Amino acid sequence: MDHSSIAVARATDDARPSRRRRGIVALLLGLTTLSLGAGLFSLAIFTDTDASTGTFASGTIDIVSSPTVAFTVSAMVPGDSSTQALTINNAGTAPLRYALTTTATTVLGDTLTLAVKTLGTSCAAFDGTSVLAATALDGATIGNPAQGANAGDRSLAAAANEVLCFRVSLPLATGNTLQGATSTATFTFDAEQTANNP
């Protein structure tokens, strides 16, 4: 074979990879163009979104008793009693139930008795329905402050109130040793929600 034939054969062999490369590059460019075109078409669609909002607020349980100072009684002698109206108010936004516990200091607190009725004609008449029969002032309870519905618990709707008549008495049989004695009583009202609280 002469040198010119060899040169032509080499040139032909060198041209083949170059053509192949060009073909692969052209194919890749074509696919890229196709992908970009498809991407452009997929972005050219109508879209829409919408949203709704919610507002949430928790309710309140707020028990208020008035007057703040329920009793100021002096110079009681055996057989005396004092009656006071207490308004129990649900100042919250949710229904509640409540219980009362009473503590009183000294032997006089153990001797005095407490009775509670709903408002009848008047608290002075003390002719309403009995809520608590006469019992020792110290430790007197209505319902139970433990969570859940308990016997004797009182219920109040949101923004409602009720008037209870409290009568504290010094029994006629009180002994001479209690002359000049004093006692301080605290009436504690514990409230809890009634919804979802069996």
Same domain, 86 and 143: yes
Same domain, 67 and 19: no
pLDDT at position 70 is 87
Count CB-CB contacts under 10 A for residue 68.
Answer: 6
pLDDT in tens, 100-110: 999 999 999 99
**What CA–CA distance (Å, rounded) separates 194 from 143?**
14
Same domain, 73 and 40: no
CATH number for the domain that contains residue 68:
2.60.40
Lowest mean pLDDT among 12-21, 60-69, 143-152: 12-21
pLDDT at position 94 is 97
pLDDT in tens, 71-81: 999 999 999 99
pLDDT in tens, 148-175: 999 999 999 999 999 999 999 999 999 9
Same domain, 126 and 169: yes
Same domain, 14 and 99: no
Report which of residues 45 and 153 the model is more confident about.
153
Total residue length of the chain: 198
Domain count, the chain: 2
Supply the range of the domain harboring residue 25.
1-44
Tokens 């001797």, residue located: 111
Same domain, 5 and 87: no
Same domain, 38 and 79: no
List of E strands, the chain:
63-66, 81-90, 96-104, 113-118, 130-136, 141-142, 154-156, 161-169, 185-193
Lowest mean pLDDT among 37-51, 91-105, 119-133: 37-51
List of E strands, 157-198:
161-169, 185-193
- Any domain includes 26: yes
Question: Can you tell me the mean pLDDT for 110-127?
Answer: 97
pLDDT at position 44 is 77
pLDDT at position 8 is 47
User: 113-118 and 96-104 as β-strands: parallel, antiparallel, unpaired?
Assistant: unpaired
pLDDT at position 85 is 97
pLDDT at position 42 is 55
Q: Give the CB-side neighbour count of residue 120, counting CA atoms within 13 A.
A: 11
